[in-house]
Amino acid sequence: MKALITVTHPRTNSLTHAVMNRIVEGLKQNNHEIDVLDLHRDGFNPIYTVEDEKDWIKPDKIYAPEVRKEMDRIAAADTLIYVFPLWQYSLPSMLKAYLDKVWNMGLFGKMGEKKVLWICLTGGDEDHMSKYNREEMLKHYLNVAVSGYARVKESNVELLYDTLSESKEHIESLLERAYQLGRNYE
């Protein structure tokens, strides 16, 4: 299986990148082919322009080369994995821009056989996230509003809680969980 992994964090020494690296290790152990997109390092332009917008009059619109390139990467993958921190109880702006530009109507109805795994790192613990239904809100947004609208085959959200913990054992357990997510991914 070919996996396109998209990571979103401005610092390469972040826990987000460490989690992504462990997922890659697990996927490789499981003999998956890997394509990694680092939205910050690979120069993705988050500015949404009229050229990025669906043209309802011209259904065969030709998208900007940058957007077309990312649409093609998605088309070539069997599964999509997104690794990102939770910021303001939502997606980082760079990832939101990527979804707006690349997952736009140009891919609508063309993602039916894709699986998507959203791996979200949150500083809050599980009680904090569930207290105001934030976990439920995020899962609904990613699994239903985003993935459901794009008609993907399967979408799952995995939350890694308490990422601001000073416990080395806890952080190691998160990295091990990330490895196992990759190792057991089918």
pLDDT at 106 over 70: no
Give burial (CB, 10 Å; 0-12/13-18/19+) of 105: middle
pLDDT of residue 23: 98
Average pLDDT over residues 46-75: 83
Q: What is the pLDDT of residues 13-45, one digit of tens each?
A: 999 999 999 999 999 999 999 999 999 999 999
* DSSP summary character for residue 145: I
Strand 33-38 versus strand 154-160 pairing type: unpaired
pLDDT at 105 over 70: no
**How far, in Å, CA of 111 to CA of 128, rounded?**
34
Enumerate residues 6+ apart whose C-beta is below 8 A from 66.
44, 45
Token reading at 64: 């900007």
Average pLDDT over residues 58-73: 84
pLDDT at 58 over 90: no
Tell me the residue range of the domain where 87 lies: 2-183
Give the residue with greater pLDDT, 104 vs 178: 178
Structure confidence at residue 60 as a pLDDT band (50, 70, 90): confident
CATH number at residue 173: 3.40.50.360
Token reading at 132: 């105001």
Average pLDDT over residues 45-63: 79
pLDDT at 109 over 90: no
Cα 159 to its chain centre, rounded Å, is: 12
Give how many domains the chain has, as a whole number. 1
**How far, in Å, CA of 124 to CA of 173, rounded?**
16
pLDDT at 57 over 80: no
pLDDT at 149 over 90: no
pLDDT at 108 over 70: no
Alpha carbon dihedral 182, 16, 146, 57, in 10-degree steps, equals: -110
Token reading at 17: 């990148």
